[in-house]
Structure formats: structure tokens, C-alpha cells
A and B are shown apart, each in its own frame.
Chain A
């Protein structure tokens, strides 16, 4: 596979593939750069792989419109380069996996980076999409406009659906200008002090866009106008921190992550107090996202997360496919919600061809 394909529209072939899969009752494993296969309940041996990267290229981008429309298979390295050249960015900062991640995969997985609590999530930036449905129809939802409440919000529903509701072929996503000033600092202090400081800074509306406590140090990113960033720096103090920290955090390349134990992501309500977690912990999102390295069994980790009003996702795949089938990486859903998921899957993917079982057993 060459690193960069020529822009092309391969959607007709995808539609045929889906139609054939429906006819032959064969599941399709929809994938882009295959960078997030670790987040899967099971891999399907008998499935056809639909690699979206042959359908790629930026369809429409006018920086003044604050929207980019690109085909699903477009690599994040290409998107980032184009946005960068225009002085803009995708504020939700999704992990790019060395640029191999695709726009379709970014939306399908809905993973957001360090800026998420302040900027919004991947879903928050989705304005529209094109989708090949469970009846092999190529449809369009949403569009390139900021406000659009015509019909159900199908395009935002695809965000985080892990390809289980259809093949995303094109996405229109809101982009924003890069902040005029950006600085990072690091402070040595205890975790409890860090949490208290973060709350104080939030109340003062300091222009924070990143806050991560790891290895006994609080890392803070400030972005905004020159004046506000400078005065926040004066207020916070600390030592200058290289901006590459945030990319390393986003890509989980910090030394903290280099550890053989199972990695868990625990998502918690804002301002959840520090709590004992069985393992090594890194606090991201100002404490609303906690990474835990541990050998503790799933049930215990999920129990701790649920008690605190959150949920846990396992980022390290289990060893055997039996284990993977038995224990999805994603938090189990309460039955009434699961029932709605089953109904939705049944209606939108009636032949059960799209990534069956990737999220949950019946989905």
C-alpha cells in the first residue's frame, strides 16, 4: 500500500461490495488505516475487509467557511498538512497514529485528544456525512452548514459507532483557526494540589486547552490571544514545556504508556475527586479522563468507574479470541439502553453486515 494514494472516488465499488455482502450474508470488516483494531470485541475471520483508503481526497475546503469535506479514506497526515497550511486545525485533536489514521476512522471511533474538555469531541465537529447503508444505498445526511436541524442527526450518530451502522464514505467537519498564542508549562506538585489548582484556574476562566498530571507533574497548555496566554502564564508559573508533549499524550507515546500491564481509559464526570485506583494513573482532560495501567480484572475496574459515575474502556486487547468474545473493551450497557441499540442495529443494518460484534455481542 503506497503511503499516499491519488485522490479518487471509489464509492461505487464500495456500494457493490456492500450489496454483495448483503446477498451472500457475509459480514464486512470496515477499516481505514487499521490503527484502532485494538478497540474491538472480536475480529471476524470470515469477514470481507473493506479498506476505505482507496476512497480518499479532500472534496471541498474553503478556510473561511470553517468546514472541510473529505472522503473517508483520506489520511489524517494529509488533512493535518492542508489544515496546517491554512492556519487551521481540527480542535478535538484526534490521535493520528503517525498520520495513518483516516478521517472515516477518526469519526467512526470518535476518539478525541487532550483538548476535548475545552473544545468538544469529534462528534461535536461533525456537520454532515455520506453513508452506505445496510440496504447498500449511498445517502447524505447533514451538510456543510453550522446549523441544521432537518431530520434526525444521523451524521453525529455515526461518530463513535465503530462502523456498525454503515460505511462512512465522506465527512464534513468543522475546523477552527489555530489560536494566535500557545504555550505549555509543567509544574511539580502533588496530585491533590494539581486538582485544586485546576479548579481554581477553571473558575478564573484561564485559557487552558490541556491539563495532564503524570509522573508527579502537572502539564498545562494555554491557548488564546497573546495577552490572555501571557497573563495566565504569569499566574500559573512553572517551567516551559515543549509542545510535543501534547502530541505524545494524544498518541499515547509518553513513557507512562510503555508498560506491559493492561491499559484502561476511565471517563469520569468533571471535578471527580482523586480516588484510589489499583495501578499507575495518569490524569488527562483535567481529571475527566484517567489512564490506568494495571493487572486488576475488568470487573473491578468497571465497578470503580461506575461507582464514580463514569465508565471504563480497555485499550489493551485480551490474549485469546474466547476472552475477547466474553469481555468487550467497551463498558456493558444497561438492558433498556442495550435494547435500543439492538433495535437500531436491526433497523439500520437489517442484514447484519457491518462490523457485527465489534462493539457488543448483538450489535
Chain B
């Protein structure tokens, strides 16, 4: 894929749609008048820290940053924005990896970080009612005294906010067994762009009407603003054990994943790392990883004491039968934590062996794992960039980390390689994003995932909530115009645009 100069990440009115021009000083003055007590940042040096989210390669200075303290202030801000036609980009902790909270030059950046209170924990009902700025891990910490926890655990869980988790439908390493954010929330309080309060879902296990809670989860700040979240809490498992298996080749490791699941075992976590990732992690964390292995699998089993014992024995036998050269059971909690520390720090570990890295997030049907791994290896050679592979193998979610050097001008090649990997995922029946979201980063790949009729339906759906298109414009769903310009690598339902080219 040729790098095209106009493929930059910045909002492009020619293809993303026109935005109204607003005078910064005027908007600030009017907002202060309409929304009493609202904290607004508008000096250049104050705006800098908000230029990007977790995808720091993409930076735009917002028109202004608003830091409301109350729902009334958010309501007032939205009413103003709606009346005046000012776009609003909402941001939680800013840890997102797809540029979903990338500001707009002509838009307000609405930062929900001050909504950081846990409002209520109902230990009998197993729920917590929290404000959207509460950190993911803080919920489990607060629930720990009741022996409860909140299951989804994205790797950014120390920092990421629950509101952002809802916007992205965040996952983590325990999704196969415990589900995504959508499976672990009961109720949302939201504000529409008109500033109207609406409750989605309920405190009960279901709610009348359409399942707008499911629709809203993962909608990337395009449909409304979350002001309160009720999450489900689970009782902590009695026992948790982790096995680490080494493999001499990646295909065998991939096949072992299917063997385990085929045997009727649903591990709490089933993770895979390839040699480059293993070495980087070992060098950084000293987790005791086998640096000569082509791949390792980490298989965590949790539940009742006796079930975990049964499952560990079965998993160990399956791993050996699948060709594992060495299987180790973490013999205590410290060793279990160490095994996980290597995996959980795989991204920063890779960051130490390369000036820059680019984290991808494709999903594929599990059966395609061996084929896709071979494909990634070939693409890596073709583009001349190393790729370290870290996967949530149990649910087919790949995180290939592309190693590159921005100072050596490799950024564009890395992005092109990333795009090629995602298109491979789509081709085998997978998705361009498993848990990081589309945001701004994968806006062009959406043209490969969906055809124009499907995208049109998404735009209709958006219009039901936000007819003026003021919430997070330019993210998540590309315009048809954008796809016509940049979505040339259109693979849909197995039909390739350039069938004469050899692929795999």
C-alpha cells in the first residue's frame, strides 16, 4: 500500500464532513456564562496535555478543554454545544489506544476525569454504582472487602476509567470466561447531545424496549455522554492457578489452544506470546520465561478449589500431548503473579527493545491462528519490520506489536504493515479491532470491514441519537466519501478487490 500524503490522521473536512468555525474567546465567554462554575482551559500551554490520548502519535490541540464537576454542568455544556453547533469530543482517562479521544481543532474536549466517586457498592446484589471517571481497578479495590471484584481487566486498568471502558467495550485477559464490558454492566445514565438525561438498562437483569445498553457500549462517545455506570460484581474465585507451557513452534502452541477449549475447559485466561515478545518480557521483568521457546502459552484456571485441581491436571496433559516441551505450574501466588507480570508488561517490554512500537488489535476465528501467524511473519519480512506477537489466544484477539523507528522515517511503513495485518484478519473472517476500538486510527480499515450499505446504516443509527453529528465527528464510522478516497483495500465477504495479487 502506497503512503498517501492525505492519509494523515487529522480531521479532514473534505472527506470527514464540514465543521463550523468558532471563535475560541467567544465560546469560552459564552460557556462561562451558560454553565456557572465550569472549569475551562483555553491557554495553549494548558491545552497541550490534552492533545492526545493513549495513541500519542496522533495529536491535535482542542478548541478548549472543559472539566465539569457536576452532571448539571455537562448538561449545560451539551445544551450550549447543541444550540451553537460546536462538536464535543469526550475523554475519560485518555488511555485509549485508537485515538477515540483525539481532540478536534474546532471542538470542545469534554474531560470526565473529575467524576471519580464510587457512589454505592451493593454487596448483596453484587453491583457497584460509580461515576464514569472512576478507574477500572479502583472498583475491584473498593469491592475487595466484600470478596467481590469487577471482571473486565484491560491492561490499562490501573489508569483507565470505567466511562472509557463503556465507550470502548473494553476487554482484557479474562474475556473468554467473563466477557467484555457489555456483559458486565447493568445500567447507564447518559446525557444526549440535547442535554437530556436517559437511563439505559436497569438495576434488574433486563429492561423493557430495545437493548440500547448494548448499542451504547462500544459506541466511542458518538451517541451520548455517560454520567453514571452500574457494574456487576462477581465473587472472587476460591482458587486461581496458572500453567506456563513452552513450544518449539508457534503452530503447535496455536493448536494446543483449540485442544484445551475442545476438551470442554474454559480457562479464565489463555494467553500466547511469541519468541520476540518472550525475550523482551524476560529481559525486562525476569518472569522466568523460557527465552529459547518459539512460543509460550499461559493458561489460567480459576474457580472452586477441586475444579481447578481437576482442570489443571487435564490442561497439563493436553499441553504435553499437543507437543509442549515444558509445562510449569506456578507453585504459589508469587510465581503466578510473576508469570503474569511478563505478559502484562509485554508492551512496555517491547518498548525497550525498539525506539517505537505500534500495537495492533485484530481478532480472528481461533482456527485461523496458525495461518494468520504465518501470514504476519511473511508481511513482517515483506515490510522489513520486526513484529512481536502477544495474543489473547483463547478468544482469538491478536496484539501484534510492530517495531519501528520513527526517527528513521519508518512510521508510514509501520502503519501500512499494520493495515495489511488487519486486512488479513478481515479476510479470514475476523475483525479490525477486538477491544481497542476504531477511533481515528482504524477509520480507513472500517471500509474493509463494512460495505457502504452497512456504513450507511451505522450513520442512520448515529443520526437517531445525534442528528447534527456533533458527538465525536470523524471517529468510529468513516463517511462513504472517505472510503471512496482511502478505503481502496476493500476486502468484503471474501471478495478481494485485486484478485490477481497473491495473498495467503
- Residue contact B169 to A64, C-beta cutoff 8 Å: no
Q: Which of B156-164, B274-282, B364-372, B401-409 contacts A (4 or more CB under 8 A)?
A: B364-372
Q: How far apart are A178's CB and chain B's nearest CB, in angstroms?
A: 7
User: A347, B182: Cβ atoms under 8 Å?
Assistant: no
Name the segment of A25-33, A70-78, A145-153, A210-218 touching the other chain.
A145-153
Q: Please tell me which stretch of A135-143, A255-263, A292-300, A318-326 contacts chain B, meaning at least 4 of its Cβ atoms lie within 8 angstroms of it.
A: A135-143
- Stretch of B62-70, B204-212, B292-300, B495-503 with 4 or more beta carbons under 8 angstroms from chain A: B204-212
State how many angstroms separate the Cβ of A89 from the closest Cβ of chain B. Answer: 11
B198 within 8 A of partner (CB): yes
Say if the beta carbon of A270 comes within 8 Å of chain B. Answer: yes
- Asked if A36 is at the interface of the complex by the 8 Å CB criterion, the answer is no
Q: Report if A145-B309 is in contact (Cβ < 8 Å); known contacts: A153-B217, A271-B122.
A: no
A135 to B452, CA, bound (A): 13
* Distance, CA A356 to CA B454, complexed state (A): 23
- Is A124's CB within 8 Å of the partner chain B? yes
Interface residues of A in 303-359 (CB under 8 A from B): 309-311, 313, 330-334, 336-338, 340-341, 343-344, 346-348, 359
Question: Closest CB-CB distance, B63 to chain A, in whole Å?
Answer: 27
What residues of A have a CB within 8 angstroms of the CB of B219 in the complex? 152-153
The answer to whether A227 touches B310, judged by C-beta atoms less than 8 angstroms apart, is yes
B477 within 8 A of A: yes
- B211 with A267: CB separation less than 8 A: no
Q: Is A279 an interface residue, CB under 8 A from the partner?
A: no
B204 adjacent to A311 (CB under 8 Å): yes
Interface presence of B484 (CB below 8 A): no
Smallest beta-carbon distance A116→chain B, Å: 7
> Can you name the residue of chain A whose Cβ is closest to the Cβ of B432?
A150
Contact A269 B203 (CB under 8 A): yes
Are B464's CB and A149's CB within 8 A?
no
| Given contact pairs A120-B179, A124-B179, A205-B238, A228 touches B307 in the complex (Cβ within 8 A) | yes
Q: Report the number of A-B residue pairs with Cβ-Cβ less than 8 Å.
A: 261
Q: How far is the CB of A337 from chain B (nearest CB, A)?
A: 5
| A346 and B465 alpha carbons, distance in the complex (Å) | 12
Q: Looking across the interface, which residue of chain A has its beta carbon closest to that of B203?
A: A269
Q: In the bound complex, what is the Cα–Cα distance between A149 and B97 (angstroms)?
A: 13
Contacts of B461 in A (CB 8 A): 152, 154, 344, 347-348
User: Is B212's CB under 8 angstroms from A153's CB?
Assistant: no
Tell me the bound Cα distance from A341 to B215 in angstroms: 12
Closest B residue to A226 using CB positions: B310
B87 CB–A CB distance under 8 Å: no
A176 within 8 A of B: yes
> Bound complex: CA of A57 vs CA of B219, how far in Å?
32
Nearest-Cβ distance from residue B55 to partner chain A, whole angstroms: 15
* B-chain residues with CB within 8 Å of residue A271 when the two chains form the complex: 122, 124-126
B423: interface (CB < 8 Å): no
Q: Which residues of B contact A133 (CB under 8 A)?
A: 453, 457
- Determine if A150 and B211 form an interchain contact, defined as CB atoms under 8 angstroms apart: no
Asked if A346 and B464 sit within 8 Å, CB to CB, the answer is yes
Cα A137 to Cα B264 in complex, Å, equals 38
With A147-B180, A151-B438, A336-B198 as contacts: A116 and B205 at CB distance below 8 Å: yes
Question: Which chain B positions have C-beta within 8 A of A311?
Answer: 202, 204, 207-208
Given A145-B364, A176-B266, A199-B124, A153 contacting B304 (CB threshold 8 A): no
Residues from chain A with Cβ under 8 Å of B442 in the complex: 150
Cβ of B42 under 8 Å from chain A: no
Interface centre among A66, A145, A149, A360, by most chain B C-beta atoms within 10 angstroms, is A149
Listed A/B pairs (29) with beta-carbon separation below 8 Å: A64-B258, A124-B183, A139-B451, A143-B429, A145-B395, A145-B396, A147-B180, A152-B458, A152-B461, A153-B169, A154-B215, A156-B211, A203-B147, A205-B235, A207-B307, A224-B304, A225-B311, A227-B305, A227-B307, A228-B303, A228-B306, A270-B127, A271-B122, A288-B204, A333-B209, A336-B196, A337-B198, A337-B212, A343-B464
B: which residues have CB within 8 A of A?
A: 122, 124-127, 147, 168-169, 171, 175-176, 179-180, 182-183, 192, 196-200, 202-212, 214-215, 217-219, 222, 235-238, 258, 261-262, 264-266, 303-307, 309-311, 363-367, 392, 395-397, 429-438, 442, 446, 449-451, 453-454, 457-458, 460-465, 476-477, 493
